[in-house]
Chain A
Amino acid sequence: MHQAIIAEGLSKSYGKEKILAVENLSFTVEAGEIFGLIGPDGAGKTSIFRMLTTLLLPDAGNAKVMGHDIVKDYREIRKTVGYMPGKFSLYQDLSVEENLNFFATLFNTTIKENYHLIKDIYEQIEPFKKRRAGKLSGGMKQKLALCCALIHQPTILFLDEPTTGVDPVSRKELWEMLKRLKEKGITIIVSTPYMDEANLCDRIALLQHGKILSIDTPPNISAAYPDLLFEVKGGKMSRLLNTLVAFEQTKSAFSFGDAVHLTLQDANTPAQDVINYLAQKGIEGSSIQLIKPTIEDCFIQLLKN
């Protein structure tokens, strides 16, 4: 398998104060994989996308996309990539159909020629093809944007936060679509602030402040978690959490849905000690079990270092 993206030492800073958005970043994306850039706002996700899609020049470093240099061969790259920015950027005053036609024409192709690529997605918005893009709901806008990014049959697709602000059902739908596009041989690089979506990617880079905290497959990142991780349940969250934070054996404790995720200073401490301590503090009937760390656990752990 060859590499779809090779980035070496990419850096970008903005403004007079030279605030670093991306700092000396190197990574590769294999052809045919779904690669996730996972990180909060300000981690540098959009800057990375804009450099790789030739919309922004790096201050230092270089990168190749499908073998083309992002500075010298920008024309070639623009022909081969599909890019869906985080902000809706289609023509609000054109209809669904007109937008799609417009993007097809820009790339010297027709809707008909590449219809097989967008069929599954387009069928869902086709009943509204005469409607202006600006009048579509969030979910439909997104489907249209995806169709427009695919209509020239790109070999690599860049999706910048396609699921931000989207409800869990629509998020799930979008990931289903991405999986099907991957099966058609398209390399996908996608960014998201939702840690639970990491598991849907083949490999991920965890990003914070323009730097990579970790880069690997989701199972390998989980496996690299340095401590034993426990899930503790019992009573009201705020009380349980505060009580566990105050426990002298606690290394870290944070809320996680209906449970507290806990690591202990000493790996040899019996789990029963935690239950006994909680009972002592008036929290009866609590439970504890060893669990596999999620990507969010790993991210929190990496942030603390």
Chain B
Amino acid sequence: MALPVITTKKLTKRFGDFTAVHEIDLEIYQGEIFGFLGANGAGKTTAMRMLCGLSTPTSGEATIAGFDIYKETEKIKKHIGYMSQKFSLYEDLTVRENIRFFGGIYGLSRKELKTKSNALIDYLGLENEANKLVASLPLGWKQKLSFSVAIMHQPKIVFLDEPTGGVDPVTRRQFWDLIYKASDDGITVFVTTHYMDEAEYCDRLSIMVDGRIEALSSPAQMKIDLNAASMDDVFYQLARKAQRQE
């Protein structure tokens, strides 16, 4: 079995008397594509912020990429990549400038930056757009570039927060090809999505309801366990039990 790169034990986050995340246990392996699902307000974002080292847990334990979630958050940040639909790239920098900027932030050397930039531009077929502003790229290209930038420093894990929202169905599938490739290269992909067909593309997934993980297994197993015809049905069965008014 592959090595675990995310391990959490009873990880909890409370805001006052509100428990946003309640005792979640996760073990996610190297190269795994892990889908992190839940209704709006179930606690996904809070959990993800803790796993990225951006928010200190109230209680529980966790190790991310081999580092402790309380004491080594700066090291965690160096060994993960992050991409969200909302914040991805600087619109008024060119493609090449964005790559250089984010590569620099992730600590790549000048030499590495040069070779990696060219390789990336080549891989994405952006030779003609390399010196154009990111604002002028179609959304699908932005998303692909943004993902590639997030894994430029070969992180152990990449966190993707609804990466494919609003993208056309062909581009969405091309985006998943990039995810498969990253996973083949040994990068763990931790992804949230509202597209249930994308949930099927994950090796395993969890569904959060009211701050707890209500189900965790492969998509196929989940359908068997709940006697559900589709992932949509699985999600509906679990999430409609939610009590909390967000």
Q: Which residues of A are in contact with B by a Cβ distance under 8 Å?
A: 39-43, 127-128, 137-140, 164-170, 172, 193-196, 208, 237-238, 254-258, 296, 299-300, 303-304
Query: Which residues of B lie under 8 Å from residue A172 when comparing CB positions?
Result: 236
A37 to B162, CA, bound (A): 22
| Given contact pairs A140-B246, A254-B173, A299-B169, A167 touches B194 in the complex (Cβ within 8 A) | yes
Sample of 17 further A-B pairs with CB below 8 A, known A140-B246, A167-B39, A303-B170: A40-B139, A40-B166, A40-B167, A40-B169, A41-B139, A138-B40, A138-B41, A138-B246, A165-B162, A167-B40, A167-B194, A167-B235, A168-B194, A237-B201, A255-B173, A257-B231, A300-B169
Residue of B nearest to A237 (CB): B201
Residue of A nearest to B173 (CB): A254
- Whether a CB of chain A sits under 8 angstroms from the CB of B71 is no
Query: Which residues of A lie under 8 Å from residue B195 when comparing CB positions?
Result: 194
- Whether a CB of chain A sits under 8 angstroms from the CB of B16 is no
Point out the residue from A42, A193, A238, A300 that lies within 8 Å of B138, measured CB to CB.
A42
Query: Which residues of B lie under 8 Å from residue A39 when comparing CB positions?
Result: 168
Closest-CB distance, A170 to chain B (whole angstroms): 6
Q: Which residues of B are in contact with A by a Cβ distance under 8 Å?
A: 38-41, 138-140, 162, 165-171, 173, 176, 180, 184, 194-197, 200-201, 219-220, 230-232, 235-236, 239-240, 242, 245-246
A170 to B230, CA, bound (A): 17
Q: Which residue, B162, B184, B195, B196, has most C-beta atoms of chain A within 10 A?
A: B195
Query: Which residues of B lie under 8 Å from residue A43 when comparing CB positions?
Result: 168
The answer to whether A41 touches B166 (Cβ under 8 A) is: yes
Q: Which residue, A168, A195, A196, has most C-beta atoms of chain B within 10 A?
A: A168
| Given contact pairs A39-B168, A255-B173, A168 touches B236 in the complex (Cβ within 8 A) | yes
Residue of B nearest to A170 (CB): B40
The answer to whether A41 touches B194 (Cβ under 8 A) is: no
Query: Which residues of B lie under 8 Å from residue A303 when comparing CB positions?
Result: 168-170
What are some 27 contacts across the A-B interface (CB < 8 A)? A40-B139, A40-B168, A42-B138, A43-B168, A137-B40, A137-B41, A137-B246, A138-B246, A139-B41, A164-B165, A166-B40, A167-B40, A167-B194, A168-B232, A168-B235, A168-B236, A169-B236, A169-B239, A169-B242, A170-B40, A254-B170, A255-B173, A255-B201, A258-B220, A300-B169, A303-B168, A303-B169
Closest-CB distance, A207 to chain B (whole angstroms): 10
A146 to B240, CA, bound (A): 22
A127 to B200, CA, bound (A): 37
Residue of A nearest to B171 (CB): A40
Query: Which residues of A lie under 8 Å from residue B139 when comparing CB positions?
Result: 40-42
Closest-CB distance, A296 to chain B (whole angstroms): 5
Point out the residue from A42, A169, A256, A258 that lies within 8 Å of B235, measured CB to CB.
A169
Residue of B nearest to A140 (CB): B246
Closest-CB distance, B45 to chain A (whole angstroms): 11
The answer to whether A169 touches B39 (Cβ under 8 A) is: yes
Point out the residue from B38, B194, B219 that lies within 8 Å of A166, measured CB to CB.
B194
The answer to whether B39 touches A170 (Cβ under 8 A) is: yes
Query: Which residues of B lie under 8 Å from residue A256 when comparing CB positions?
Result: 197
Closest-CB distance, A168 to chain B (whole angstroms): 5
The answer to whether A165 touches B165 (Cβ under 8 A) is: yes
Residue of B nearest to A193 (CB): B166
Point out the residue from B41, B197, B236, B245 that lies within 8 Å of A257, measured CB to CB.
B197
The answer to whether A257 touches B196 (Cβ under 8 A) is: yes
A157 to B188, CA, bound (A): 44
A55 to B169, CA, bound (A): 30
Query: Which residues of B lie under 8 Å from residue A193 when comparing CB positions?
Result: 165-167
A196 to B235, CA, bound (A): 15
Query: Which residues of A lie under 8 Å from residue B236 when comparing CB positions?
Result: 168-169, 172
Query: Which residues of B lie under 8 Å from residue A169 when comparing CB positions?
Result: 39, 235-236, 239-240, 242
Query: Which residues of A lie under 8 Å from residue B184 when comparing CB positions?
Result: 238
The answer to whether B180 touches A195 (Cβ under 8 A) is: no
A304 to B168, CA, bound (A): 12
Residue of A nearest to B179 (CB): A238
A303 to B171, CA, bound (A): 11
A208 to B180, CA, bound (A): 27
The answer to whether B239 touches A167 (Cβ under 8 A) is: yes
Query: Which residues of B lie under 8 Å from residue A40 when comparing CB positions?
Result: 139-140, 166-169, 171
Closest-CB distance, A235 to chain B (whole angstroms): 11
Residue of A nearest to B201 (CB): A237
Residue of B nearest to A41 (CB): B166
The answer to whether B169 touches A296 (Cβ under 8 A) is: yes
A172 to B138, CA, bound (A): 30
| Given contact pairs A167-B194, A257-B231, A299 touches B41 in the complex (Cβ within 8 A) | no
Query: Which residues of A lie under 8 Å from residue B220 when comparing CB positions?
Result: 258
Query: Which residues of A lie under 8 Å from residue B41 when comparing CB positions?
Result: 137-139
A42 to B135, CA, bound (A): 13
| Given contact pairs A42-B138, A138-B40, A139-B246, A257 touches B200 in the complex (Cβ within 8 A) | yes
Residue of A nearest to B230 (CB): A257
